[in-house]
Amino acid sequence: MSLLPEPIQAWIERRRLRPQGRHRTGTDISRPLHLARRYNRTQRLRRYLRAQLRDARVLFQESRNSLIAFVGIVLGGALIFHFFYTYPGTQAHPRLGEALHATFALIFFETLLPFPEVWYLQALFFIIPIMGLAVVADGVLRFGAALLNKQARGQKWQVAMASTYSNHVIVCGMGKVGYRVTLELLKFGREVVGIEQNPEGRFVEKARGLGIPLIIANARRSENLIKAGVKRADAVIPCTDDELTNLDIALDARELNPQARVVMRLFDADLARRVEKGFGIHTAFSTSALAAPIFAAAAMRANVKYSFYVGDTLLSLSQLTLGPDSALIGWPVHRLESELDLSVVCYQGQGQTDFHPPPDLRLAAGDQILVLASLETLQQVNGLNRDG
Q: Is the pLDDT of residue 318 over 90?
A: no
Which pLDDT value is given to residue 267?
67
Domains of the chain: 8-62 (no CATH), 64-148 (1.10.287), 155-291 (3.40.50.720), 300-386 (3.30.70.1450)
CA distance 133 to 150: 25
Q: From residue 180, give the alpha-carbon distance in Å to each of 40, 98, 184.
A: 22, 61, 6
Q: Which residues contact 230 (CB under 8 A, 6 or more apart)?
A: 170, 236, 253, 256, 257, 260
Q: Would you place residue 7 in the very low, low, confident or very high pLDDT band (cuts 50, 70, 90)?
A: very low
Instruction: Flag the least confident range among 58-67, 138-147, 159-168, 271-280.
Output: 271-280
Which pLDDT value is given to residue 185?
87
Which pLDDT value is given to residue 8?
42
- CA atoms in the 13 A half-sphere facing the CB of 52: 6
Whole-model pTM above 0.75?
no
The residue-averaged pLDDT of 15-25 equals 44
Which pLDDT value is given to residue 50?
64
The residue-averaged pLDDT of 365-380 equals 88
Q: Is the pLDDT of residue 206 over 50?
A: yes
CA distance 289 to 267: 8
Tell me the per-residue pLDDT of 285-303, one tens digit each, with 9 for 90 and over: 655 566 666 666 665 556 7
* Percent of the chain at pLDDT exceeding 90: 21
201 vs 25, residue with greater confidence: 201
Q: Is the pLDDT of residue 230 over 90?
A: yes
Tell me the per-residue pLDDT of 327-339, one tens digit each, with 9 for 90 and over: 999 999 999 999 9
Which pLDDT value is given to residue 11?
42
Q: Is the CA virtual torsion 92, 93, 97, 102 positive or negative?
A: positive
Q: Which residues contact 62 (CB under 8 A, 6 or more apart)?
A: 142, 143, 146, 153, 160
Q: Are strands 343-349 and 368-373 parallel, antiparallel or unpaired?
A: antiparallel
Which pLDDT value is given to residue 226?
95
